[in-house]
A and B are shown apart, each in its own frame.
Chain A
Amino acid sequence: MSHDYESRWVYRAKWTYLLSVVGVLMLPVLYTLWISFNANGFGAAEYDFTVFWYVELFNNAEIRTSLGWTVLIAAIVVAVTAPMGVLAAKFYQGTQFKVPFVFLMLSPLFVPADVTAAALLVYFKNLNGLVDGLIGVELFDLSLWTAVAGQITWCLPYAFVVILVTMGRFRPEQTEAARTCGADAWQAFWQVEFPQIRPGVFSAGAFVTILSFNEYVRTNFLKGGFDTFPTYLVSYMLNTGMTPEVYAMAGLVSLVSMAAIGLVLVVALRRRIV
């Protein structure tokens, strides 16, 4: 207890409040998870535990395909965004125009997904027509790559911030020392700085994975003729309502996200980087 003037009970009451807010935020998720394991579905008087609905999911070829697309997109987005986050953080440290740069990097967080997605959709349609007219190739036709580009604009701010925070703990004197000893800029970065910021890059990669895995609006606008898991889930839900399959799909997404966050937290706590 760091606070001398506060009674123990007030302190405990505040912790209780904090934890109950987290609990309320998690309640809908845990509740659907609970329903998803009920053989009788939502609102039934009896609760029989089953994984039947989950098995059904994996028997559905459309869902397996959509999961494949989701994983593929997430893999590409992470592979691109994590290194870009490092580059952006390095650029931020070196630039004189820190404020405009930060506003640009973080502004995707301040624009609603629908607006970004609609603007990008019209942009890609125009660009596609332009490029098609010039060289006869539909380079920017809606596809995997337009969806990936849309997702990166959304994920990069998070990767940037997480990596920047980790880099803030690295002491630049070490780079100077390495340079004095004859290392070039790349060696100083890769052999001295990178090993120390690796946990941050790892966390950024994990967050980007989760963000990409859950992304719906941008993907839905910008994807080609395929479905990712979230877009399949939403269209299924809007068409059929809240069936047990929908609960199982929601449960699957929640379980994957929670497992990923759990992994990040365990690694972070063990390495004492939070």
Chain B
Amino acid sequence: MSGPTDSGGAAPQRRTLWQAIVDDHGPGRLVLWIPLVFMVVFFLIPLALTLVWSVFERTMFWMEPGFTLAAYQDFFGSGRIDSFLGSVKSAAVTVGVAFVLGFPIAVFVRRSVPAHAQHQAVLLFILPFMISEVIRLFALRPVLGRNGIVNDLLMSIGVVDEPVSALLFTPTSVVIGEVLSFLPFMVFCGFLAMEAVPDYVFELCDDIGSGLAVTLRRVIIPLAAPGIVAAAIFIFVNSLGLFLVPDLLGGPGAANAGTLVVNAIAALDFPLAMAIAAIMVAMMVVLLLIGHWLFDLTKLLEPFR
């Protein structure tokens, strides 16, 4: 292609046209708007419209404009709200477990691992995260099942005499599936938040001899709060929607918000699906706004400025 990159040989007219396009005031600068426009058209508007569609009238196979709260009545007045609240509980437990298991790793990497190896240590967590969620979730069935690897292990070291069946098709297995899916995010976000904290802060804590508990509570957690909050919201909202988990791990009758949406679509009840979607989006927006208001989540982006 004869662009401006090759210095000779390009047809002069073409260069002029090209130069007019890439000129500081030319139309070329408009391409920078493409990602923004794309996200508005294919993400922001569809999600905002869920609120509108959720009050439409349901027809046999589709929906038509109107105003009715039938979908919301259907959601709040049926067993769906119980399933939803059950999945809220699992998601909250998942956030707690992910924090307890994952955040110490972020602290350890930031404080104790040599500077040049920190990113590589965190990158280890990319590996499980990048493998298909579908695979990781359904792989849990042979792992957690009655004759799976965990029970084999527990029996061979003599912890239990017979297989533990509570590991699969229970709320516990749902939490296990969610934690295994989202734990890396606590490590990433926690580390990202602490990366902006200079080393001398940690050294100072050691120098003045503050204990681990005090350092954690008064220094590390406040400094890492934006990362923890971002990870917590991410894990909470995504746990509510994690597809296949109730089907694969949850046992009979298990459902979360994602399953409810999918089932509503499968039943061609589009207003109901849109109502649940609108509730989820509203929840996400409120949580993010509260998180941002309390902890200024943009601190996470300091390294990119």
Contacts and interface: CB of A to CB of B under 8 A. Distances in A.
Bind each other: yes
Interface of A: 1-6, 11, 14, 17-19, 21-22, 24-29, 31-32, 35, 42-43, 84-85, 87-88, 90-92, 94, 98-99, 101-105, 107-116, 118-123, 125, 149-150, 152-153, 156, 160, 164-165, 167-168, 184-187, 190-191, 207, 210-211, 213-214, 216-217, 221, 230, 233-234, 237-238, 242, 246, 250, 253-254, 257-258, 260-261, 265, 269, 274
Nearest to A22: B124
Given A42-B142, A84-B38, A112-B240, A254 B135 contact: yes
Given A108-B43, A110-B237, A185-B22, A91 B142 contact: no
Contacts of A274: 119-120, 123
A121 B38 CA distance: 16
B240 to A, nearest CB: 6
A3 B207 CA distance: 12
A250 B34 CA distance: 36
B138 A149 contact: no
Q: Which 6 A-B pairs have the closest CB atoms?
A: A112-B241, A28-B139, A25-B128, A114-B258, A214-B132, A88-B35
Interface stretch (B71-79, B160-168, B219-227, B276-284): B276-284
Given A118-B261, A184-B19, A112 B135 contact: no
Contact of B127 (A26, A43, A207, A238): A26
Contact of B270 (A5, A26, A115, A122): A122
A187 B127 contact: no
A53 to B, nearest CB: 15
B166 to A, nearest CB: 18
A28 B180 contact: yes
Contacts of A3: 111-112
A114 B262 contact: yes
Contact of A101 (B36, B115, B136, B270): B36
Contacts of A230: 132, 134
B46 A261 contact: no
Given A87-B35, A274-B120, A14 B112 contact: yes
A119 B49 contact: yes
A21 B101 contact: yes
Interface in B193-244: 206, 233-234, 237-238, 240-244
Contacts of B40: 104
9 contacts: A21-B101, A32-B139, A87-B31, A90-B32, A103-B288, A107-B44, A111-B47, A121-B265, A125-B62
Given A3-B112, A101-B36, A115 B288 contact: no
Contacts, number: 269
Nearest to B183: A25
A5 B32 CA distance: 50
Interface residues of B, number: 98
A238 B248 CA distance: 9
B143 interface: yes
Contacts of B33: 91
B57 interface: no
Contacts of B55: none
User: Which interface residue of A18, A94, A210 has the most chain B CB atoms within 10 A?
Assistant: A18
Given A25-B127, A102-B301, 10 more contacts: A14-B108, A17-B105, A18-B108, A29-B128, A98-B301, A115-B47, A120-B42, A122-B270, A123-B49, A216-B134
Interface in B134-163: 134-136, 138-143, 147, 149
Contact of B130 (A42, A43, A115, A257): A257
User: Which interface residue of A6, A114, A221, A246 has the most chain B CB atoms within 10 A?
Assistant: A114
B143 A27 contact: yes
Contact of B142 (A26, A35, A110, A260): A35
A228 B251 CA distance: 27
Contacts of A258: 127, 131
B273 interface: yes
Contacts of A115: 47, 50, 241, 257-258, 261, 276-277, 280-281
B270 A257 contact: no
A34 B55 CA distance: 50
Nearest to B142: A42
B254 interface: no
Nearest to A165: B304
B13 interface: no
B270 A111 contact: no
Given A3-B111, A28-B136, A234-B244, A87 B34 contact: yes
B66 interface: no
B284 A110 contact: yes
Contact of A22 (B128, B206, B273, B288): B128
Contacts of A32: 135, 139, 142
A123 B134 contact: no
